[in-house]
Chain A
Amino acid sequence: MLAPLTRKPLYLAIALGSLLPVSALANTAVTPESVVSHYADIAHATFEDARTSAQTLNTRIDALLEAPSAETLAAARQAWLQARVPYQQSEVFRFGNSVVDNWEGQLNAWPLDEGMIDYVASSDYQHELGNAGATANIVANTAIEIGGETLDVSNITPNLLADLNEIGGSEANVATGYHAIEFLLWGQDLNGFDAGNGERPATDYMAGEECTGGSCERRRDYLDAVSDLLVYDLEWMVAQWAPAQEGTYRQAFLAEPAQEGLRRMLFGMGSLSLGELAGERMKVALEANSYEDEHDCFSDNTHNSHFYNGMGVQNVYLGEYKRLDGSVVEGPSLSDLLAETDPELDATLRNQLNASMAELNDIKLAAEAESSPMAFDMMIAPSNETGASLINDAIMALVIQTNSIEQAADTLGLTQLQPDDAGHAF
């Protein structure tokens, strides 16, 4: 087994050495072993794309900091949106693979009390009740007090931000990751259920008298450090899934019986479909009419985050991943394996995955429509029947496919879907 991972200084633990390219077409027979091995290939390719797109984001952020302007800010935002495409597809690897689940809090923690990071409009800011860090404002202060303890934050580094993430034990104290960067690029969305997202001006990154929002130097340091950390963290995860390397998660994963690998695959698909995507990310926001529970709330990119979450589930089942460069990683799949014993169930599940992707695509189309686009935070407004029905249809499709995922597990002889170490009390 791997040594327990320390979460904070992930970037110090990056495995060195060049990474081998994934062989795209594995023309092997379909066995549980080949399916599980190919799953690791897909994970590797997905995280590689997440890293590559995060590197681009980092470069664009450097360009923004070099010459802050509406154009360089727009280019950085565009890179952030692109970086979400592979990352959201990678989330299916979280559940069941503790190496991912223990790591992802530093990358995709949400929802956040963004007042810990930078200025917020106090009239429009609702933080977690009882969270001492919710108004710490690291950008504006060289020392912050959380839970009676004073912390020196004068020197903003990736390491410091990693240490500050979830400080005080509150999951809302998000100092790092995609959503921290999203907040620093877009700012608060002050439009509630109405059209529009965050409108942070590029001048928030100007030096000297042109600076808006105050403490521009520290905000620049923050954005620089937090985007560096994202790249470091993704490099670490790519290395964990790299083939032919000693001491990686992949090596430990493939040393387990193949049935265990299949179980983790199906557990990830079901957990992301039902509890996370249908539940936390859609149903809660809709039923409570709560834009605080919108996933990408600063950028209003939530429709894409949901869409690519769904695609990740489908990728794992079909053993296919379309890379950012357009090439396709494909090989022995769960679908192939299930078809050998129950072709009907395989066809049903494939149809259901297509159906849920169609529903998620309807949300995406509505949000990106040229005339009167309806973003996710508009869909969840009280009495928006069109929006509610778009979201409810997607939720229902995800529920239905989860049922078949359970049946697939049963058919493949996987009786205990729960991972041994997930800490759920059952």
Chain B
Amino acid sequence: MSVPANNIPGLLDEHHSDAGGYFSHLDALEAESIFILREVAAECRNAALLFSGGKDSAVALHLARKAYFPEKVGFTLLHVDTEHNYPEVIEFRDRIAEKFGCKLVVRSLEDSIKRGTIRMKSPDEARNPYQSVTLLESIAEFEFDACIGGGRRDEEKARAKERIFSFRDEFGQWDPKNQRPELWELYNTRVHKGENMRVFPISNWTELDVWQYILREKIELPEIYFAHERDIVRRNGVLVPVTHLTPPKPGETIEKITCRFRTVGDIPCTAPVESTAATIEDIVRETAVTRITERGATRLDDQTSDAAMERRKKEGYF
């Protein structure tokens, strides 16, 4: 069931469509996303853009720049830092925020742990599930009425059913059975004080759309998205990078392989894939023929059950 790489519209097309001619799928997706971000800019009082340094948030920031043009981006960049991130990604986050003159706020899980609002069962436990707590605390601290995220509906079943403007109550909860209908491009942004919107401007993009767009727009990314050599061990069918947080277990063999990350997050729950794709073109080609979903290959946290994401979203997760 392999896919020929030409089975995709304009796979390696770097050019914008000419006005008056062909309006490509990337043109249509981009225009929709800019429209959504402008609605946030116009109707929300104080919006944050969740910026982790990952590719989806880099694309969201790029779109925000286009939405605000010719102004600087008016959203606060917010990173909920597990402090278990790859240093290259953190360096990238800081550099990009400065480059585009954006206000960056970093709030750490460590602070929530010190406050006692997060109590971990063990110190080496994956930290992603606890991000919701620190996120909700940051929303309260800055009184954000909207938080923009890079979530996509193709990532996961629960996301496929979530609105672009996803209403959250004061506990940050998503109620899948009681979502606001979303018709045409008429987004209802209204919230009461203490409630907020999660906004997903790239809801309708797929992983491949994201990479095609990164190629076309020449969007900068952290180095770890590209092929590099890394020490790993093989565990339950996934590659576990050897780091101080994820040391090899007794009996495991360390291998040096050429790999890259398809998603970037908390070290203990993000695994690389074997790949020699060193350029964005290579990655677009590889993504077009991949046989494993993005999360299936690389996320150690969603594999526990089919409904893992749905439950986490109900608890306030992005």
| B partners with A | no
